[in-house]
Structure 1
Amino acid sequence: MMNKKRLAMAVALSAISAQAYGLELGEFGGANLSIGGYVKAEGIFTNPDDGERSFDASARQSRINFKVDKEVQGHSVTAFIEGDFWDNATDANDTSYAMRLRHAYFQVDNLTLGQTWSGQFYANAPFDVEILDFYGTGVGSVSGSGAVARPDLVIHYTTGGFRISLQDPVYRDADYPDMVASYTYRTESGHAFNAAVTGREVETGIDDSKFGAAFSLAAKLNFGDTALALSGYTGKGNNVYSGWGYNGATNPISMAASGEVNADGDLVSTTGLSAGLSHRFNEQFRGNIRYAQVEADEVAPTVADDTLKMMNVNLIYTYLPNLDIGIEWRDRNATTMPLRSGGQQVELMAMYKF
């Protein structure tokens, strides 16, 4: 039973980062060096609610990372750097395929400093189910826009189950960092729970700024080969991270499109939820179902719906160790940033992790 629980957790974590994988290159100068990442080929059939059907195939999501671990004067020191080939995540038909920086951080004992996942991401993603949509991970949660709202610099400090995060603010003229405080509790039976609160300075476009805060709960309940994931959040000032607001899908690049305030400069509240079920049929075959939605209490007249809804269903087959083949059907009722239009998609993918 314990092996199954560990396997379920490993599957969940593999969906959010390639950091769990790595090839040990050996010890050099007292440091352990490893290389990791994956090569992923995907083909996506899109049937949008508005517009023509299309098909796009790419290997741009493939990534590579390097990790160095060393013991220095009794302290555990880690350096990690990772890149993929999405450049600035521009048009899917852009053939530049330039490499971009995903992670570049170092960790000394319990302190992490650099560019890496946000505190919102850690408050939700480890407790979610596995989906294939590169730009859909976390929809409905406090970290729903994690694919496009990644701070340039983050400080994480962890002690016990607590994590305190100070982040480069999305609002460039903010007087203080974006902040996240969370606590994770794990049981011996394999269940996990997280509570988090966020706080940040929000640009209004009218006044200088206002303070917004949100509260999140997430849980992962493991029952042998089956796991149930639940999350919910509510608050103001988190719209750019959760990905939905006054203007519909939020865009962290443009304050006017961030959707965090209405036409009068007042903060807009959002409330999100997600529920997912994963099941491992055998050692090679697993599947996931996930539903999510996030609702804004006020939207612009040009936005057709105040609620973003999304469904994902996938099956994944491990053909060889670390080589997965998968298919996913997904549907959303509105466009999400930056490349997913409202409507249905089917993704076929093959991924080799190393």
Structure 2
Amino acid sequence: MNYGNSLIALAITSCLSAAPAAQAVDLGTYNDTSFSIGGFVKAEGIFEDPETGDSRFFGRANQTRFNLKTVTQKQGHTVVGFVEGDFYGGDFPGEDNDWRLRHAFIKIDNVTVGQTWTGQFWAVAHTDYLDFLGGPRGTLAGLNFRTTLASYEFAGFRVTAQDPIYNNADIPDLAVNYNLNLDGGHKIILTASGREVDNGDFVAGGAIGAQFMFDRHSLNLNAHYGEGLGAFSGVGVNGSMSDDVENGDAVSQTGLNAGFRYVFNAQWRANIAYTKVEVDDQADSNYEGHRVNLIHNIIPELEVGVEWRKHSLVFGPLIPEGQQVEVMAKYSF
């Protein structure tokens, strides 16, 4: 396995950008360890028209992030360290600008330990959204969930044991992914998820993600079904997102997501996406999401874009029910 490429892939997934990836800044090598920094600066302006309350326009730069990566090759082993943070910390996310830890992990050959994406996050074939915070909502990457975990990769499989969401759980949350890479750039991701919920039951669910390439363009499809999945999709019982139990029983949900990316040329691309989740609870806590965007790369490292989106549920102060229009500029390094 090429571990340098694996970390580059992680950075690309973190940014969710289909633009050519800017290489991290190489700081040099000392005692068999290479050091580099990367990240991006992003400024965005958002017009918000919620279903309830007043319309408003506001700007923010909280999504700006920085990371440090080290790679040590010694005695037949490759050891990677990765630390990344952004400015979504504080008591009022989106208003406070406190530093927040996103990732802090060590990768030793095929084993990863530390804080990073859940195995459920890796179940998703991602579409190119401007708003990463709410972009994958309704898929198993919906809450951008990062947790302390240990995972092992082999022969296309990734097996992950995670810090449990239910505080009194007796076992870790679990996920198993299988990646099948096909000719022409097509790929299929199969995922099994299991965790203990707050009634003490161990519940399970599954997901499939797929990316189909049509020359430069791509179609991404995702589906999930099962119990205990609201903690990851961000859609749950009575709109409470991570609560997957109602009246003492685990609640199931079904989710579908489709996104299409059209690449006009090396400078211009557009994306359209639709998400639908149905929750088997008394309130029918269902969700629909719609997105359309247009992105322009002025240079490979600098992109600007505009995105219209609509959510049918409230996801906290940053993602209200209703419509948003975002304009943004992002400089990656």
Q: TM-score, normalised by structure 2?
A: 0.92
By how many angstroms is 1:294 displaced?
1.0
AA partner of residue 243 (structure 1): G
Q: 1:16-52 deviations in whole A, cap 9, x for unaligned?
A: 3899741111111211110000000001110001110
Partner of 1:232: 223
1:331 maps onto 2:310 in alignment: yes
1:246 maps onto 2:229 in alignment: no
Partner of 1:90: 92
Q: Any residues of structure 2 matched to 1:52-201 within 5 Å, and which?
A: 52-88=54-90, 90-94=92-96, 97-124=97-124, 127-146=125-144, 149-151=145-147, 153-201=148-196
Does the CA-based 8 Å contact 1:140-1:232 persist in structure 2?
Answer: no
Q: Any residues of structure 2 matched to 1:313-332 within 5 Å, and which?
A: 313-332=292-311
Moved more, 163-172 or 129-138: 129-138
Does the CA-based 8 Å contact 1:154-1:165 persist in structure 2?
Answer: yes
1:308 maps onto 2:287 in alignment: yes
- Residue 211 and residue 123 in structure 1: after superposition, are their counterparts in 2 closer, same or farther (change >3 A)? same
Residues of 1 paired with 2:196 and 2:104: CA distance? 25
Give the percent of matched residue pairs that are identical in Structure 1 and Structure 2: 41
Does the CA-based 8 Å contact 2:305-2:327 persist in structure 1?
Answer: yes
Residues of 2 paired with 1:337 and 1:107: CA distance? 34
Residues of 1 paired with 2:52 and 2:317: CA distance? 16
- Residue 170 and residue 338 in structure 1: after superposition, are their counterparts in 2 closer, same or farther (change >3 A)? farther
1:219 maps onto 2:210 in alignment: yes
Partner of 2:44: 42
Q: Give the number of equivalent residue pairs.
A: 323
AA partner of residue 150 (structure 1): R
Does the CA-based 8 Å contact 1:12-1:129 persist in structure 2?
Answer: no
Residues of 2 paired with 1:170 and 1:132: CA distance? 28
Partner of 2:24: 22
Does the CA-based 8 Å contact 1:12-1:130 persist in structure 2?
Answer: no
Does the CA-based 8 Å contact 1:243-1:337 persist in structure 2?
Answer: no
Residues of 2 paired with 1:62 and 1:117: CA distance? 18
AA partner of residue 260 (structure 2): L
- Residue 91 and residue 26 in structure 1: after superposition, are their counterparts in 2 closer, same or farther (change >3 A)? closer
Q: 1:72-111 deviations in whole A, cap 9, x for unaligned?
A: 21101100001111104724333xx110110000101100
Does the CA-based 8 Å contact 1:135-1:338 persist in structure 2?
Answer: no
Does the CA-based 8 Å contact 2:62-2:94 persist in structure 1?
Answer: no
By how many angstroms is 1:339 displaced?
1.9
By how many angstroms is 1:241 displaced?
1.1
AA partner of residue 277 (structure 1): F
**Structure 1: tracts of 5 or more residues without a match:** 1-8, 251-257
Root-mean-square deviation (CA, aligned residues, Å) is 2.0
1:33 maps onto 2:35 in alignment: yes
Does the CA-based 8 Å contact 1:11-1:130 persist in structure 2?
Answer: no
Residues of 2 paired with 1:171 and 1:346: CA distance? 35
By how many angstroms is 1:173 displaced?
1.1
**Structure 2: tracts of 5 or more residues without a match:** 1-8
Does the CA-based 8 Å contact 2:22-2:300 persist in structure 1?
Answer: no
Residues of 2 paired with 1:336 and 1:98: CA distance? 21
Is the strand fraction higher in 1 or 2?
2
Partner of 2:320: 341
Match of 2:258 among 252, 270, 275: 275
Does the CA-based 8 Å contact 1:316-1:327 persist in structure 2?
Answer: yes
Q: 1:183-227 deviations in whole A, cap 9, x for unaligned?
A: 0000121100011000000003xxxx1111111000000111110
Residues of 1 paired with 2:11 and 2:258: CA distance? 17
Partner of 1:298: 281
Residues of 1 paired with 2:233 and 2:211: CA distance? 20
